[in-house]
Amino acid sequence: MSNSINRPLLRFIQIGDLHLTEQALQNHRDFIRIVHELNRQVDGSVDFVYLPGDNADDGTDEQFDLVCGGLNELRLPWRAIPGDHDFKPRSLESFYRALRVRRLPSAEEIGGHLCLFLDVVSQGTGGPDFKLGTEQFEWIKDRLADAQRDGKACVVFMHAYPADLGGEAERLSQLFDESSVRLVAMGHTHYNEIAHDGRTVYAATRSTGQIEEGPVGFSFAALDGDVVSWRFKPLDSPWPFVMITAPADRRLDLQGTEPEPARLVRACAWGTAPVSSAEFRIDDGPWRQMSREDHCIFVAPIIVGQQPFRLEVRVTDETGATADDVIECETNDLRRASTGSDAGSIGAWPERHLFGTQLGPNRNGRKW
């Protein structure tokens, strides 16, 4: 069956733009709190933690030392890319020297998926002048062609929407449309936002350092086969935490990725105490037990027809604490023009901390 539990699963956590300037300011304290929280609650049960750029507000060595200090405490693998603030000195040498990351662009196969980490700042003139440049654009094109040939779904990690890349925007959006890119994970917006054109989901996570909406936190994201899931967790909210990774919620459903009528429900759970059990129900039907796939992944088969349904998963840890996640499933014939922008925004989804505020500095941001 095409939705077997053997299909690949990529899971990562995104910490929003840090904009670090000085030690012990609120954003620095929040960053360290997030690191400690992830060390305690998540342990090794995600593939990596992702910093989407604008890590150091002015791109100075001192500010990158603060970023590096927090990452040195993190016990999980991590990946970082630069944003326009990291490029304020018109160089990324401080970024590379402090964080010791691979030169970008870089490609890795993680969780059975191809992950592309891009630099959209160093070919520009500074500020929000985002560019890939000819060499990087051709590199992306070749990597995506390889993934298409090998039947691998892709996740792209870049600082801003493709539509922010000026003269390259249309070509890049078209390239993503014609490829197996299922998810683009971004920063820059300062607010939580998901846009979706039926082929690719574009997801941005709320800034940690310059927040204009809601509480500080971090997002969980997954690519389960071809199914995209995303959920934001405020820092002060309780554990355990659970996210359904399959099937797709109607707001994230990509065309042709969920064959009918056979489906699989799969969910990932994290918490201070081990999660001892998981169960699911469809609409208001009976609760049914899920099997443990590994220490934080639970699965169960479900058979549904073409009709819409509500799926709820509830987990319980060894202390008796519970958490749930709810999605809405239905056949999705969504077709929008692809612009690689927020034109396909799914709008507000309060349960996911998506408020539709667009209070931020990007080109689509509303006045603060």
Give the pLDDT score at 335: 56
Can you tell me whether residue 26 is helix, strand or coil?
Answer: helix
Q: What is the CATH number for 83? A: 3.60.21.10
Do residue 20 and residue 114 come from a single domain? Answer: yes
3-state SS of 221-276 is: EEEECCEEEEEEEECCCCCCEEEEEECCCCCCCCCCCCCCCEEEEEEEEECCCCEE
Give the pLDDT score at 255: 72
Do residue 22 and residue 168 come from a single domain? Answer: yes
Lowest mean pLDDT among 47-51, 118-122, 226-230, 335-339: 335-339
Segments forming the whole domain that contains residue 208: 9-237
Do residue 224 and residue 79 come from a single domain? Answer: yes
Give the pLDDT score at 256: 56
Tokens of 16: 């929003």
The answer as to whether 178 is a domain residue is yes
Q: CA 123, CA 102: separation in Å to the nearest integer?
A: 17
Give the pLDDT score at 43: 75
Question: pLDDT digit string (tens) for 269-286?
Answer: 999 899 999 999 999 999
Q: CA 229, CA 244: separation in Å to the nearest integer?
A: 7
Mean pLDDT of 55-61: 97
As a whole number, the mean pLDDT across the chain is: 91
Q: How confident is the model at residue 3 (pLDDT cuts 50, 70, 90)?
A: very low
The answer as to whether 49 is a domain residue is yes
Lowest mean pLDDT among 108-112, 321-325, 337-341: 337-341
Tokens of 102: 């691979």
The answer as to whether 1 is a domain residue is no
Do residue 274 and residue 221 come from a single domain? Answer: no
In the chain, how many domains are there? Answer: 2
The answer as to whether 42 is a domain residue is yes
The answer as to whether 357 is a domain residue is no
Do residue 114 and residue 166 come from a single domain? Answer: yes
pTM: 0.94
Do residue 194 and residue 315 come from a single domain? Answer: no
Q: Can you say how many angstroms the Cα of residue 3 is from the centroid of all Cα atoms in its chain?
A: 22
Do residue 306 and residue 192 come from a single domain? Answer: no
Q: Could you tell me the strand order of the sheet in which 262-270 lies?
A: 241-246, 262-270, 297-303, 291-294
Tokens of 131: 């560019």
